[in-house]
Amino acid sequence: MIDRPLFFIVLTVAGLWSTPAQTQDRKVPDSAASEPKWKAAARYDYDRVSGGRVDWQRWTAVLQRSIPGGTVAATLVRQRRFDTADEGITVDLWQDLWAGAYGHLQVGFGPDAQIRPQYSLKAEIYQPVGPWELLGLYEGRRYTGSDVHQFGAGLARYVGAWYIRARTTAAPRKSTWAVSQRVGIRRFYYWTPSASYIDLEGGAGRSVELVGPNASLLTARTAFASLRVQHFLTDGCALTATLRYSDDGPLSRTGGALGIFVRW
């Protein structure tokens, strides 16, 4: 999927110019936008897994910096699934492109690749068209002995204090396509100078899921729902909390996350 020398060249470049979607809410109205130079975040995720399986855990740390026309960041992840621990690093770039448009480039590396991809690459372009915002994306993941390619398109719009969005993704497999849809709605309740909100998202379809250690993958019918709250305690400090349920075919999960970030 990704040539190794080329991958590390991209990884190096992106490491100098990047930021993750988890901590970068680019789709915030101008009245709510804030441009601090630095941002640091930490998050803990926990999921209770069906069938008496060992619960899943994930620890995430992010350091982000603003640059002219965009942001740069590095994300370190440690997670435990199927009683197996794995680590990874992700670097991202959000950058303004032509008039009104912006892009996102993300690359990742997992040295052990037990429950994470060995390499990953993601590219997104956001293009405003009238009151709407269009999205086109590609994502590639290389697991031990298997590659996953995913293509997608999305549509989003602000309506007053509301932000609504929809996205469809498709991943070709040997004998079928894994096609899924998701929709979300976000309500901002404090815009100036920071963006506090409540976000509800759900989706269903077929997707490629990790169902065991050593990169055991399965194309299965899936569905999920999540509720996320981001609340600023001060202009420079916010807490995040998430509740979620996911049906991943052979297993289901109920869990959530708690996070904090500071910016200066």
Return mean pLDDT, the chain: 86
Domains of the chain: 4-263 (2.40.160.40)
142 Cβ neighbours under 8 A, 6+ residues apart: 1, 2, 117, 118, 119, 120, 148
84: three-class secondary structure by DSSP: strand
Closest by CA to 57, choosing from 106, 115, 113, 117, is: 115
pLDDT tens digits for 116-166?
Answer: 888 999 999 999 999 999 999 999 999 887 889 999 999 999 999 999 999
Closest by CA to 93, choosing from 5, 204, 18, is: 18
pLDDT higher than threshold 80 for residue 26? no
Query: Cα separation of 232 and 190, whole Å?
Result: 9
Specify the residue for token string 């506090």.
196
**Whole-number percent of the chain with pLDDT over 70:** 84
Specify the residue for token string 């299965």.
220
pLDDT tens digits for 176-193?
Answer: 899 999 999 999 987 655
